[in-house]
Amino acid sequence: MSYLSCVEIEPKSSANASVIWLHGLGANGHDFAPIVPMINLPETTQVRYIFPHAEERAVTINMGYVMPAWYDILEMSVERKIDKQGLLDSAVQVQSLIQREIDRGIDGKRIIVAGFSQGGAVAYQSALTFTQPLGGLMVMSSYFATHDSIEPALCNKALPVYVYHGTQDPIVVEKLGQDAVGFLQGMGYETSYTTYPAEHTVTPEQIGDIRDVLANLLS
């Protein structure tokens, strides 16, 4: 089976947990790799970090330029008119990576799916519809693009979801993060929402919060 190309960072000893982290539009798997040393989890938590590269495709809002993208964005409106089928296809590719971690011997409940911006929209779909229990979902500066069509897997109804957003984000306005939390809570998910006085980025304070959540989920 073919998988998305990834940057993989192995722990010092055999992995007992995995974090699959999806980048934003126009970036690649190297984008968040430098964060790993900053997270610095306890040595007993041996995490394999996986940063997939999205496939390259033409992006309508960027004048059709070809770039790494999880799906095409057709209109830069608040509602985000997107190529939903492209998103679903990317979610299936991410789920293949989740399954590969299980096949490698990682307990599904010790697999965390994370995503930033466009990657966060794919993370929602990938984690909430995966047919085996997972450990958690972390979404940064993103939106819940498939909230009106998703068919969540019952086995992940108790999946803890952590949503992070910058209050000054001009790219994905905070209202979209708030809306995502509302949709999740309406579906019955345990959801945490944290904001930062920042734009479309991940801040040092946020990295600290992510470290604390990972340490708790994977302790």
Report the candidate in 158, 126, 144 with the shortest Cα–Cα distance to residue 21: 126
| pLDDT surpasses 70 at 185 | yes
Residue 34: pLDDT band by 50, 70, 90 thresholds?
very high
Give the pLDDT confidence of 42-91 residue by residue, as tens digits: 888 999 999 999 999 999 999 999 999 999 999 876 567 899 999 999 99
| pLDDT surpasses 80 at 190 | yes
pLDDT at 79: 66
| pLDDT surpasses 70 at 27 | yes
pLDDT at 42: 87
All domains of the chain, ordered by start, with CATH?
6-217 (3.40.50.1820)
pLDDT at 1: 74
Give the pLDDT confidence of 133-168 residue by residue, as tens digits: 999 999 999 999 999 999 999 999 999 999 999 999
Give the pLDDT confidence of 79-127 residue by residue, as tens digits: 678 999 999 999 999 999 999 999 999 999 999 999 999 999 999 999 9
pLDDT at 100: 98
* CA-to-CA separations, 128 to 17, 84, 161, 191, 206, in angstroms, rounded: 19, 16, 10, 13, 23
**Residues 167-179, mean pLDDT to the nearest whole number:** 96
pTM over 0.85: yes
The catalytic residue positions are: 117, 169, 200
* CB atoms near residue 46 (< 10 Å): 17
**Residues 156-183, mean pLDDT to the nearest whole number:** 97
**What are the residues whose beta carbons fall under 8 Å from the beta carbon of 96, sequence distance 6 or more?**
1, 3, 4
